[in-house]
Amino acid sequence: MTETTRAVDQWSIGQFAKACGVTVRTLHHYDEIGLLPASQRTVAGHRRYTGQDVRRLYRIRALQMIGLPLADIAATLEPPPDDLASMRTVLESQLMHMRRQAEQIQTVKDRILDLLSRIDVAAMPSAEQFMSTLEMITVLENHFTPEQRQNLADRRAELGASSIETAKIRWVALVEEGLRYVSDGTPASDPLVREWARAWDELGSMFHSGEQTKTAARAMWQENAASLSAGLPWPTEQLAALLVYLEEARTRP
pLDDT digits (tens, 9 = 90+) for 40-63: 998 898 999 988 888 888 888 877
Is there a domain that residue 163 lies in? yes
Residue 2 is assigned to a structural domain of this protein: no
Residues 91 and 138 in one domain: yes
Does 195 map to a domain? yes
What lies within 8 Å, CB to CB, of 56 at 6+ separation is 36, 77, 81
Question: How many other CB atoms sit within 10 Å of the CB of residue 110?
Answer: 12
Q: pLDDT at position 134, please?
A: 55
- pLDDT at residue 195 is higher than 90: yes
What is the pLDDT, as a whole number, of residue 132? 58
Give the integer Cα–Cα distance in Å for 93 and 97: 6
73 — pLDDT class (breaks 50, 70, 90): confident
Average pLDDT over residues 134-163: 62
Please give the pLDDT value at position 71.
73
| Residue 237 maps to a domain | yes
Does the pLDDT value for residue 82 go beyond 80? no
Does 166 lie in the same domain as 201? yes
Tens-place pLDDT, residues 201-213: 888 777 665 555 5
pLDDT at 243 over 70: yes
d(CA 151, CA 89) in angstroms, rounded, equals 31
pLDDT at 1 (0 to 100): 46
Q: Which residue segment(s) compose the domain that 219 sits in?
A: 145-253
Q: 49, 76, 103 — which closes off a domain?
A: 76
Q: Looking at the domain assignment, is residue 135 inside a domain?
A: yes
Pair (228, 181) in one structural domain: yes
In a domain, 187, yes or no: yes
Which of 252, 251, 253 shows the shortest CA–CA distance to 70?
251
**Alpha carbons 33 and 75: distance in angstroms, whole number:** 12
* Cβ pair 212, 148 in contact under 8 A: yes
Say whether pLDDT at 163 is over 70: yes
Residue 192 has pLDDT above 90, yes or no: yes
Confidence of residue 6 (pLDDT cuts 50, 70, 90): very low
**In terms of domains, do 101 and 46 share one?**
no
- pLDDT in the model for residue 13: 92
pLDDT for 3: 39
How does the average pLDDT of the chain come out, rounded?
Answer: 75
The answer to whether residue 223 sits within a structural domain is yes
Residue 140 has pLDDT above 60, yes or no: no
CATH number at residue 34: 1.10.1660.10
203 and 149 belong to one structural domain:
yes
Mean pLDDT of the region 166-188: 89
Residue where one domain finishes, among candidates 76, 107, 123: 76
User: Domain check: are 52 and 92 in the same one?
Assistant: no
Pair (60, 98) in one structural domain = no
Could you write out the three-class secondary structure of the chain? CCHHHHCCCCECHHHHHHHHCCCHHHHHHHHHCCCCCCCEECCCCCEEECHHHHHHHHHHHHHHHCCCCHHHHHHHCCCCCCCHHHHHHHHHHHHHHHHHHHHHHHHHHHHHHHHHHHHHCCCCCCHHHHHHHHHHHHHHHHCCCHHHHHHHHHHHHHHHHHHHHHHHHHHHHHHHHHHHHHHHCCCCCCHHHHHHHHHHHHHHHCCCCCHHHHHHHHHHHHHCHHHHCCCCCCCHHHHHHHHHHHHHHHHCC
The reply to whether 1 falls in a domain is no
In sequence order, which residues have a C-beta less than 8 Å from that of residue 79 and are 6 or more positions away? 85, 86
Triad 232, 251, 86: Cα angle to 5°: 100
Q: Is the model's pLDDT at 193 over the cut of 90?
A: yes
Predicted local distance difference test score (pLDDT) of residue 115: 73
Q: How confident is the model at residue 177 (pLDDT cuts 50, 70, 90)?
A: very high
- Identify which has the larger pLDDT, 155 or 6: 155
Q: How many domains does the chain have?
A: 3
Whether residue 150 sits in one domain with residue 253: yes
Same domain, 242 and 157: yes
- Both 160 and 230 in one domain: the answer is yes
| pTM of the predicted structure, to 2 decimals | 0.41
Position 252 pLDDT exceeds 80: no
Judge if 138 and 176 occupy the same domain.
Answer: no
Same domain, 98 and 167: no
